[in-house]
Structures are given as structure tokens and as C-alpha cells.
């Protein structure tokens, strides 16, 4: 067994031990196929007011420009699927990924352990780790390394696990054995495109400026009135294109204690959400990704939903 093979096996063992459901590896290189896709997406303003997406164009396409010396990209997936649901069917909805603690912190802690274990097992290895926190085209790398294929809703879909998982990456100055991409199994299915409440999806492209997740999380201004009646009662994020995906019948509940929701999140009624105080918001969403939209943003979203229902 070569040293390269041994290092690769060790890294995949560490990933499994830390609870990552899949670990795929690619050689660090320029993402030639992604350049025209990213250019088109930005040129057509599909990023809306997420102006940060316009920054670091070269680094997004080449991880070696982001982290000097990078030789391999390790792509990881971490399950967040849950069968738990909010009890009041009339209550405004929260995306499953935000039920528990903020995944950025939970997974970054695991990645820190990952790097420490790599260095104790393999030796002096330089690199950095990311989870949705840097100009890394994580879906492109996940596709390239065989985590799954890029679905028509632009989520990475695993044939064994569906799409309810977070992506994370390690950029390492270590030569590792590459995994290849897998086949696209979307076929003729258009379930995600047909079900999107705001018609934000066309095959393999999401118009971010029409996406409910964009409106309820990223957008800081008032929501355009033309979208009233199209939010399917989502107040933070949206799971529609994943909920209807046939491949998510293979999703299995996660085992991460930190992703378990507080009782109130599931039991609050529509009325209780509408009357949510700032104190209750801070208590309920302590360490939560929902804090990103702030109390004012969440109440703006709830008011938008209520005005939709009343008109």
C-alpha cells in the first residue's frame, strides 16, 4: 500500500468516526466548468442583493488561490434530516436545517477535531476547513468528489441519503487518491421545478432572487409585494424542493443531539408566533441559525405571511 493510499484511508476513517456520512476527495484545480455558470448567474443578478457573491471570483473557482499549497479538496456531508414537525399546521414554518443549533458552529468544531486527528495520525499537514463560510463552491467540489450529483434544484443528491445534509470541506496540502463523480439520476423528473412556490427553479439553476430562503434569510429590505401569497407559509428558509424530491425517501433521521429542536419550536401555535417577543426569540433561538435574520427580520417575515392570508 502506498503512502498516498494509506493517507486517504486514514482520512476516510476519521470522517466516519466523526459522524460524517460521506467523504469524497478531489485534486485541487481550477473549476473550468463552473466559470461560465457562475458568470451567467452573477451577470443575470440571480444572487439578488447578496453582493458578497460577487467577491473573490478567482478564489471561488480555484481553491489554491484561497489557501496556498492546497493539493486536495476533501468534501464531507453531515446529515440533518428529521421526521419531527411543527404541530400546528397553520403555524409559519422553519426549514429543518435550522431546528437545532447553528450548523456552522457544530460542524466547525468537528472539523477542528478532524484537522487535529489528521496531524496526529499522518503528521504535519497544513490546510484549512470550511462549512458554508468562505468563497468555496462546495456543491461543485461535492459533485466532483462523488458525494452526490447536482440535482435540478441545485442541491447535491446522494442516491443513498437524499439531500438533507450539510456540506463541508478540508483544503489540504496533501496528495490523496481522488474519487470521481457519479451519474446524474434526476432523469426526466421535474418535481422540484413544478413544486417551487415562487417558480425560482429552472433545470440546474436557482434564481436566488426569487427563492423563499433568500427572501426570509438574506434579504434585509422589505419583501416585494408581488410575492404575496407565494411563500407557502415559510417564515425561515424553505424545504419544498427537497420535500418533493423522490430521492429523499431514502433520508434517515440524524443522530446529532445538537440539532434537536427546542420543544417550543414544534409546539408554538400560529398565534404564539405572531405574538413572539424579543425575549422569547432570544431564548428560543440561542445558538440557532435563525438569529441570522434577527428578531426584526423574523417578525417581518411573519407579518408578510399574515398579510398574505388576510388579503
Q: How far apart are CA 232 and CA 63, in angstroms?
A: 38
Q: How far apart are CA 155 and CA 162, in angstroms?
A: 10
Pairing outcome for strands 156-157 and 72-79: unpaired
Q: How far apart are CA 90 and CA 102, in angstroms?
A: 25
Q: How far apart are CA 169 and CA 236, in angstroms?
A: 25
Instruction: Using the CB atoms, write b or e for 229-257: b if 16+ within 10 Å.
Output: ebbeebbbbbbbbbebbebbeebeebebe
CA max distance for the chain: 69
The residue annotated as part of the active site, out of 58, 88, 102, 132, is: 132
Active-site annotation holds for 224: no
- Which residues lie below 8 Å from residue 206, measured CB to CB, with a gap of 6+? 46, 153, 154, 200
Length of the chain: 311
Backbone angles phi, psi at 130, to 5 degrees: -145, 150
Task: Supply the residues annotated as catalytic.
Answer: 132
Amino acid at each position: 500500500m502506498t503512502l498516498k493510499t494509506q493517507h486517504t484511508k486514514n482520512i476516510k476513517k476519521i470522517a466516519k468516526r466523526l459522524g460524517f456520512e460521506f467523504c469524497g476527495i478531489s485534486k485541487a484545480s481550477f473549476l473550468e466548468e463552473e466559470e461560465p455558470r457562475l458568470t451567467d448567474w452573477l451577470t443575470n443578478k440571480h444572487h439578488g442583493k447578496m453582493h458578497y457573491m460577487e467577491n473573490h471570483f478567482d478564489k471561488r473557482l480555484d481553491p489554491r488561490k484561497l489557501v496556498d499549497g492546497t493539493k486536495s479538496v476533501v468534501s464531507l456531508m453531515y446529515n440533518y434530516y428529521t421526521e419531527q414537525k411543527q404541530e400546528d399546521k397553520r403555524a409559519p414554518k422553519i426549514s429543518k436545517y435550522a431546528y437545532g443549533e447553528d450548523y456552522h458552529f457544530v460542524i466547525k468544531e468537528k472539523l477542528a477535531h478532524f484537522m487535529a486527528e489528521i496531524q496526529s495520525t499522518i503528521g504535519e499537514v497544513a490546510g484549512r476547513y470550511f462549512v458554508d463560510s468562505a468563497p468555496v463552491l462546495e456543491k461543485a467540489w461535492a459533485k466532483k468528489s462523488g458525494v452526490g450529483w447536482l440535482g435540478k434544484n441545485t442541491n447535491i443528491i446522494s442516491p443513498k441519503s437524499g439531500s438533507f445534509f450539510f456540506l463541508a470541506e478540508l483544503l489540504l496540502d496533501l496528495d490523496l487518491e481522488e474519487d470521481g463523480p457519479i451519474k446524474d439520476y434526476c432523469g426526466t423528473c421535474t418535481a422540484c421545478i413544478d413544486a417551487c412556490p415562487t417558480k425560482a427553479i429552472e433545470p440546474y439553476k436557482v434564481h436566488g432572487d426569487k427563492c423563499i430562503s433568500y427572501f426570509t434569510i438574506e434579504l434585509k429590505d422589505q419583501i416585494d409585494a408581488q410575492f404575496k401569497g407565494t411563500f407557502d407559509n415559510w417564515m425561515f428558509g424553505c424545504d419544498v424542493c427537497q420535500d418533493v424530491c423522490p430521492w429523499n425517501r431514502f433520508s434517515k433521521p440524524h443522530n446529532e443531539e445538537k440539532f434537536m429542536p427546542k420543544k417550543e419550536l414544534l409546539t408554538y401555535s400560529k398565534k404564539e408566533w405572531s405574538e413572539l417577543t424579543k425575549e422569547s426569540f432570544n431564548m428560543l433561538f440561542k445558538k440557532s441559525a435563525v438569529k441570522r435574520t434577527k428578531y426584526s427580520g423574523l417578525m417581518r417575515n411573519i407579518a408578510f405571511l399574515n398579510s398574505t392570508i388576510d388579503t
